[in-house]
Amino acid sequence: MKIDIIGAVGSGNTTLSSRIAKEFHINCYQQDNIVLMDEYKWHHEFNNDRKQLISELLQCGLRYKRFKNANSVIKFCYNTYELK
C-alpha cells in the first residue's frame, strides 16, 4: 500500500501520515528532505543514511524528481495531482 500525502508546511501532513502508518502498520517516509534538492549537490551532500533511505524508497517503487526551487515543486504538484 502506498499513500502520498501532500500539503502546505505546518498543515499536519506529518501528523496525518504518522497516524495512518501506525493504524495500518505500514512504513512512513517523510519526503520533505528528498524533494527539494539542488541537482549539482545531489551526490556531495547526501550522507550514508540518506543514500540508504533513497535506495530503499526506489526499491519500493518510489519515483522521484529533482527540483531547483519551491515554485517548481508547487507547479509540479498542482499539475500532477487532480483535486477531487
Q: What pLDDT shows up at residue 7?
A: 75
> Which pLDDT score is estimated for 30?
74
Taking the model in full, what pTM does it have?
Answer: 0.39
Alpha-carbon gap, residue 7 to 77, rounded angstroms? 10
Condensed to tens digits (0 to 9), the pLDDT of residues 21-63 reads 888 888 887 766 555 555 445 444 555 666 777 777 777 766 6
Phi-psi region of 4 (alpha: psi -120 to 50; beta: other; left: phi over 0): beta
18 or 9: which carries more pLDDT confidence? 18
Give the span between the Cα atoms of 59 and 61, in whole angstroms.
5
Q: What's the confidence (pLDDT) of residue 79?
A: 67
Q: What is the distance between the terminal CA atoms of the chain, rounded to a whole angstrom?
A: 21
For residue 4, give the C-alpha cell: 502520498
